[in-house]
Amino acid sequence: MIGRSRRAVLSGSPLYPLREHVLPHRCWSAGPADASPDGGPLVKVLVTGGAGFIGSHIAEAYRDRGHQVTVLDDFSTGVPANVPDGVQLVELDICDPAAGKLIERERFDVINHHAGLISVPESFRIPVAYTTVNVVGTVNLLEAAVRSGVGQFIFVSTSVVYAEQERMPYREDDPTVPTSPYGVSKLAAEEFVNMYARQYPSLRTTILRYGNVFGPRQRVYGEGNLVAACATKLLSGDRPTIFGDGTHTRDYIYVGDIAELNCRLLEQPVTGTFNVGTGIERTVLEVYREVARAVGTDREPLFGPPRIEQARIVLSIERIQQALGWQPSVSFSEGIARTVAWFRTQITNASPRDEASTEHTLRCSSGAGDTAGVGNLQR
């Protein structure tokens, strides 16, 4: 394995400097006869936001199946140490024209787009930035995908695009009336993805509306941070603060199941919009109790004033089950146990990736949005 210290710097045009820093790990070219360890064809895939929480797990899973993986991340929130060995790493902003040039030059088979701004509260403060990154950045990638003949474009969206309603679970055809600039930006990006799919039939597009994803490497502040924030606080001997009375609900899914689904999409490309969750509704207090049990404490949380957010979100996953035969395989309790074990190791080893520093006040919300600090590059 080639070490991370070997770094090649590529230069761009005077007008648009190519801000790429390539880590030349084990790279190869996949010919038509090449096959991954599971027997499927090798795929040349770009994972945007691949130094983040979810994206790094997907890049790792792709690599483990023998695919040729390039990660693109600007490290505004991603962590280089998250990126697995055996992939090529490019430091670049998705809005930069150089990102399009990279796609045209490398001619990827698949783009898996996980990069984006993701904090609901922050989106109210800087809506222009959210529009630029989440919408314009996505269009930049779509344009390059069409120009370079990319065959598949996987776009990650969110469950906060749905209108608040009494009937649960949410189905993909339910009304979409987002109530934050973040939600609006993701829905607008979805519309662009769908438009490109109609205009360019050779580009297969898949939109994934995630529930609340949790697991190792999750940021302790950012979208859906309940598990990470509570685990970090409890492991540090502190009491997390829960906004409201703890009865808000969300659909929580372990990141390993998300990675498995994204691998399945390379083997069985399906088009359309799909909810990705478990179909199980859990309250904030239920989640807190499970995290506390895994930590081994009976410490009670603190309670703060409620935030303005949807009271309930649970997703129907019938469509993705029927399309792929996929369903989550890691139980909630097992996923929590794995997550707590990872955070325990980070705190014990004082890892640079441990974001539970004393300068942050970590609080817990059911949250589709940021509850402490700011969220930025996604997954």
Of 130, 182, 210, 252, which residue is the catalytic one?
Answer: 182
Q: 255-267 and 53-64 are packed helices; what angle lies between their axes, rounded to 10 degrees?
A: 50
* Beta strand 249-250 pairing with 282-283: antiparallel
The 8-class DSSP code of residue 131 comes to: I
Measuring CA to CA, how many Å separate 187 from each of 6, 164, 209, 289, 329? 40, 15, 10, 33, 29
* Beta strand 20-24 pairing with 8-10: antiparallel
Measuring CA to CA, how many Å separate 132 from each of 195, 197, 375? 18, 21, 15
DSSP string covering 12-47: --SSS---EEEEE-S-----TT-B-TTSSBP-EEEE
Task: Give CA–CA dist 233/71, Å, rounded.
Answer: 31
- Helix or strand (DSSP H, E) at 105: helix 97-106
Contacts of 111 (CB under 8 A, 6+ apart): 45, 46, 48, 103, 141, 145, 150, 152, 153, 154
Active site residue 182: yes
In the numeric block, the tokens 């909810």 are attached to 275
Q: What single letter denotes the amino acid at residue 271? A: T
Residues marked as catalytic: 182
